[in-house]
Chain A
Amino acid sequence: MKNAANSRSRSHWRSKLLPADAVVTGTHGLRSRKGRTLLTAIGIAIGIASMVAVLGISASSKADLIAEIDKLGTNLLQVQAGSNLFGESAKLPEEAPAMVRRLGPVENASSVSRLDTDVQRNQYLDDNNGLDVLASEPELLDTLDGAMAQGRFLDTGTATLPTVVLGSVAAERLGVRTLDGGPTVQIAGRTFAVIGILEPLPLNPDIDRAVLIGNEAAEDFLGAEVIPTAIYLRAIPELVEDVRSVLPRTANPADPSEVNVSRPSDALEARAQVDENLQNLLLGLGGVALLVGGVGIANVMIISVLERRGEIGLRRALGATRRHIALQFVLESASLATLGGIVGVGLGSAVTYTYARRQDWLVDIPVQALGAGVAGALVLGALAGLYPAIRAARLDPADAVRPA
């Protein structure tokens, strides 16, 4: 007993593998079989590349949309007369625009009134062209942050004259492509001169499809009663939701429920979310590729263990413990996969960049996706290497050093 205890204390020879050496040892097999390393890594690279590209391309398209939304502003609100209890389309109170303007966080507001009439290119036509005639205020252009493609917008002068400004779609449908030659349109049998054409308004397709005349002109030339049907307003960005919540009562204190409030930028933001299903499907496909790559690595590692019996036996003879052997093969497998991950991340980024540039999008490659790609490959590689590593560690050293 004493002897045994004594000798145990004497067994101070302990195998020890320095961390740096473990890494070098773990990549020895890869460096000595470069061709195989490359081919095996490609499987992982393709999986990671496709996942990075899917994430990158969708992020880039989203970034582009968000940049567009930012440019247009998310603080535009639209108040519309809804329908009453009986389904009849309601109107806003005449004083609604003034009431809305009085709200503190409202930067500016303008109203439009849809007139119950239609517009034609000339008196001989009677198309159902789907265009609205709106009586509007000169401030509308500012509120919508719109721009003129040609000519100018209504001002206090032209708002009293028989003049119109065409929305971009309206101009197209009416066949007015240029202001040269003084084009005119017919509204309720009267001739109106076209003085301007608007650029498209992504947040306000309703205005794109409208022909705008001044409030005074509507009253004077068409005998219309100008009662607001919609109010557009810009609120202080931080208070948009607050403003939104009080708008129905402000615009129509008598019947708040007859008022619809919307935020046009919401529709664009929704578009940014739409393709999530497709994205998940593509990610899933990338995941399958990755899994196949992982199985490939496991296979190659098993073959490697069989081929390298001699090396394993040698290392055991040189003092490697089973753990050292297992570690070597897990590290080898993990570095193989990590190499694939790095190549894949590079490839995925390149695909994203090329695709986004060709689409004229902003390039947005999510950094998390890159990190996750490499880390995921590493973990996958370690898992794939686990079984081969255990097999290697379990080899009987006495058998392994013998020629097979």
Chain B
Amino acid sequence: MTVLDLTAVTKEYPGSPPVRALDDVSLSVSEGELLAIVGASGSGKSTLLNIIGTLDRPTSGQVVIEGTPVADLSDAGLAGLRSARIGFVFQQFHLLEAITAVDNVATGLLYQGVRRGRRRALATEALERVGLGHRLGFKPPQLSGGERQRVAIARAIVGDPAIVLADEPTGNLDSHTSTDIVNLLRQLNDDGSTIIVITHDQDLAADLPRRVTLSDGRVVDDDAHLSAFRIPAGEEPAEARGVTS
């Protein structure tokens, strides 16, 4: 099943002349995929992240998430969509410093109207999944960088979203910790999460099953066929059949 479908998406920022950050981008992501959107600074990947994450709207083109055209939704409708269907992981973690790890993760469910007790129970589970079951009551300043990013990842997955969007998830981490985080993302993907990693790091991207390369706002390469083997049997796109090794 397709969870994300971008068709001819263009984004222009006003100015003279207007800056075209995305130019005719089409992209389809199926349930259960793990892909990297990779590109240098200024390639438009941040803009693409904002548009996939519904934090921004395209100038033209269509964004469809789980069959819902985003253009049909109001601002509050988009917020509702984000609360339930999209999980974000940021380079700078964006954790609330004054509250514990478990409460940070629980904020992932705050705007879904889930009661506090249930939020904390789910948050505890999510922290255990990312290997931080022993850090529940720690506040972010007491955690290492890798642990903080794990907390952020737990917050992104706690609501079981359709898409996890990770923006340079290893950008603030050393290489060893980065490897751990990538392995964690792989493991979550194995458990069924659809994960999109936005990065400038070619090495990180090379480790992932599918790479979409952006340059000057255009998709210049998409090795979707190589990841087709990851799609559950019977749902693979027709054109991908026979290409798998």
Contacts and interface: CB of A to CB of B under 8 A. Distances in A.
Interface string A1-40: 0011001101101111110110001001001100000000
B110 A21 contact: yes
B221 to A, nearest CB: 25
B134 interface: no
Contacts of A358: none
Given A310-B94, A317-B53, A319-B83, A25 B110 contact: yes
Given A15-B83, A398-B56, A401-B55, A32 B72 contact: no
Interface stretch (A160-168, A243-251, A320-328): A320-328
A214 interface: no
A366 interface: no
B42 interface: no
Contacts of A318: 82-83, 88, 107-108, 110-111, 155
Contacts of A310: 92, 94
Contact of A16 (B55, B68, B111, B116): B111
A181 to B, nearest CB: 83
A13 B76 contact: no
Nearest to A5: B72
Interface range for B: 35 or more
B50 interface: yes
B80 A32 contact: no
A4 B81 CA distance: 16
B94 A7 contact: no
Nearest to B155: A318
Interface range for A: 35 or more
Nearest to A34: B98
Contacts of B53: 317
A403 interface: yes
Given A10-B68, A16-B113, A18-B113, A319 B82 contact: yes
Interface string B70-110: 00110111011111111010111010111100000001101
- Residue from the set B56, B99, B112 with the largest chain A CB neighbour count within 10 Å: B112
B46 interface: yes
B137 interface: no
Contact of A401 (B76, B85, B90, B99): B90
B69 interface: yes
A185 B110 CA distance: 92
A71 interface: no
A122 to B, nearest CB: 87
Contact of A4 (B50, B69, B76): B69
Contacts of B83: 13, 15-16, 318-320
A323 B76 contact: yes
B176 interface: no
A10 B67 CA distance: 9
Contact of A20 (B50, B76, B116): B116
Nearest to A313: B94
Interface string A313-340: 1111111111110000000000000000
A311 B96 contact: yes
A324 B92 contact: no
Given A13-B83, A316-B82, 11 more contacts: A10-B67, A14-B80, A16-B83, A21-B110, A32-B96, A314-B94, A315-B107, A319-B80, A319-B82, A321-B79, A396-B56
13 contacts: A3-B69, A4-B69, A7-B68, A10-B68, A11-B72, A13-B80, A13-B81, A25-B110, A32-B97, A317-B94, A319-B80, A319-B84, A397-B56
